[in-house]
Amino acid sequence: MKKVQLSRLHHKTNIEPTISLSPVFVRPGEATDLPKFELPATMSEPQTAYQIVHDESILDGNSRLNLATFVSTWMDDYAKKLYLESADKNMIDKDEYPATAAIEERCWRMLANLWHVPDIDDTIGTSTIGSSEACMLGGLALKRLWQEKRKAEGKPADKPNLIMSAAVQVVWEKFCNYWDVEPRYVPVTPEHLTLDGYDLEKYVDENTIGVVSILGQTFTGLYDDAVAISKKLDEIQEKTGLDVKMHIDGASGAMVAPFCQPDLLWDFKLDRVNSISTSGHKYGLVYPGVGWVVWRNTKVLPESLIFHVSYLGGDMPTLALNFSRPGSQVLLQYYQFLRLGFEGYREVQQNSIDVATFLSSEIAKLGPFELISKGDTIPVFAWVMKDGYTENWSLYDLADRLRMKGWLVPAYPMADNMADVTLQRIVVKLGMSHDLAVALLADIKAEVANLDALQSPLPDEFANKSQFHH
Ligand SMILES: *Cc1c(COP(=O)(O)O)cnc(C)c1O
């Protein structure tokens, strides 16, 4: 994980210490300057405060042209109406908002069912603030299970390790850092871009709490091969007796594969899968602030991790890192489930896959690029520059040129041991229509032609190399 330098955190709009207000909307008697880093001494009119926040936030740019993010940037008007109506609800107050609590349970049960839990009456799940919290909970359950087993056997339980691809999302580095687990990264190589069981026996030992399998790597959109990992773990168990379980990080893919790749084996149908997490706010099609995690059965979620809150005079088990958090996103998730149903999700995701595979095949035809993925898993694909194509420009330069036209199409280094390889990636999601894709393609073609016309290399400092985070 790259550490962000502190100075980086200072945005360009934070250089001046005050905000000067436009005379057009300053009201008589109001200050014309407000401090930026201290709490203003007195009140402002709501219109003035609104205008300041509104005006500054439009600098964020147009989210519809943001092809870097996996997170939903569009919901329909009914969803917006629900959002406003429910903005005051706190997810943790199960007693005060029993209807929201009931809806939350319906949502994770629907997911448990979609992901084929063996027994719907013996499963457990929860909403979270996003996949990060959901992954942390999945990881914690694996760690606690392992610890309890080790202690029961009278063995030391102080050196847990977790195995994953070097191309994991940063949450897994955080998990290992925050909870004192040794991360064991399996390198990505051109032959093994995803975790596919290769060499796994070299990483597993008695201190292994589990293996993370990613359904939709952030770098490339590719799926780790859960079946191959699971088979390899079977072999390892036969030889060593070690019974190692898996968590599926399905941040994107767990809301795509059930609809668009129904024959793919990756979920609770695989016995080794203990838990699955996803981001409701990615291909779950909800605005930022919701994730989900579900466990195969109640046995694999140690009781010692569960807290009990009162709910309608009864008992409600909860498991979360956060206490208070918005309840509205959970209602929005339920809205989408009702609104779209299985067939609706299938159509939306398939349409995104169609747009992604159209774009990737056209980009492959342009000449300079070689695809790393096509966008036929999750609708996300990445490409590299062909070896020796040119010294005059790089994918960073192309990303900069596209940014001038409003498109965010980031270039970034591949995971650690392939960090010398630069990728460029497009994430297609609801709102990226075929028409918009055609417009993007025209801009990519034009900018490639401009860059190809260069007589000598662009100076390095023009390219904005380090701003992108997965
Ligand atoms: C996005 C992502 C995460 C983190 O999810 P948030 O919902 O942003 O917290 C974790 N893993 C993968 C594979 C992701 O794509």
The residue ranges of every structural domain in the chain are 6-60, 81-336, 352-462
The predicted pLDDT at position 403 comes to: 92
Domain 352-462 is found in CATH 3.90.1150.160 = yes
Is the pLDDT assigned to residue 3 strictly greater than 60? no
The predicted pLDDT at position 29 comes to: 72
Q: How far away, in angstroms, is 431 Cα from ligand 1 center?
A: 20
Please count the other Cβ atoms lying within 10 Å of the Cβ belonging to residue 226.
26
**Closest CA to ligand 1's atom 2:** 251
Question: Which of 238-247, 264-273, 455-464 is least confident?
Answer: 455-464
**Closest CA to ligand 1's atom 14:** 251
The residue-averaged pLDDT of 32-55 equals 88
Domain 81-336 is found in CATH 3.30.390.30 = no
Q: What strands, in cross-sheet order, belong to the sheet with 182-186?
A: 124-128, 291-295, 273-279, 246-249, 208-214, 161-165, 182-186
The predicted pLDDT at position 393 comes to: 95
Is the pLDDT assigned to residue 141 strictly greater than 90? yes
Q: How far away, in angstroms, is 159 Cα from ligand 1 center?
A: 26
Q: How far away, in angstroms, is 155 Cα from ligand 1 center?
A: 34
H/E element, 20: strand 18-20
The predicted pLDDT at position 92 comes to: 86
Is the pLDDT assigned to residue 8 strictly greater than 60? no
H/E element, 423: strand 422-427
426-196-281-270 Cα dihedral, nearest 10 degrees? 150
Choice from 69, 70, 131, 275 to test ligand 1 binding pocket (greatest atom count within 8 A of CB): 131
**Closest CA to ligand 1's atom 6:** 131
The predicted pLDDT at position 464 comes to: 54
H/E element, 276: strand 273-279
Choice from 1, 132, 194 to test ligand 1 binding pocket (greatest atom count within 8 A of CB): 132
The predicted pLDDT at position 279 comes to: 98
CA separation (Å) from 218 to 194, 236, 425? Answer: 11, 28, 9
Single-letter code of the amino acid located at 287: Y
The predicted pLDDT at position 470 comes to: 57
- Predicted confidence band at 64 (pLDDT cuts at 50, 70, 90)? confident
Show the ligand 1 pocket: residues with CB < 6 angstroms: 70, 130-132, 135, 169, 171, 214, 216, 218, 249, 251-252, 279, 291
Q: How far away, in angstroms, is 224 Cα from ligand 1 center?
A: 15
Q: What is the pTM for the complete model shown?
A: 0.93
The predicted pLDDT at position 457 comes to: 87
Choice from 168, 169, 252, 292 to test ligand 1 binding pocket (greatest atom count within 8 A of CB): 169
Q: How far away, in angstroms, is 362 Cα from ligand 1 center?
A: 28
Q: How far away, in angstroms, is 387 Cα from ligand 1 center?
A: 31
Among 42-56, 167-181, 447-461, name the most confident range: 167-181
**Closest CA to ligand 1's atom 1:** 251
The residue-averaged pLDDT of 278-293 equals 97
Is the pLDDT assigned to residue 212 strictly greater than 80? yes
Q: How far away, in angstroms, is 423 Cα from ligand 1 center?
A: 19
Q: Which atom of ligand 1 is nearest to the CA of 217?
A: 13
Q: How far away, in angstroms, is 42 Cα from ligand 1 center?
A: 41
CA atoms of 81 and 83, how far apart (whole Å): 5
Q: Which atom of ligand 1 is nearest to the CA of 71?
A: 8
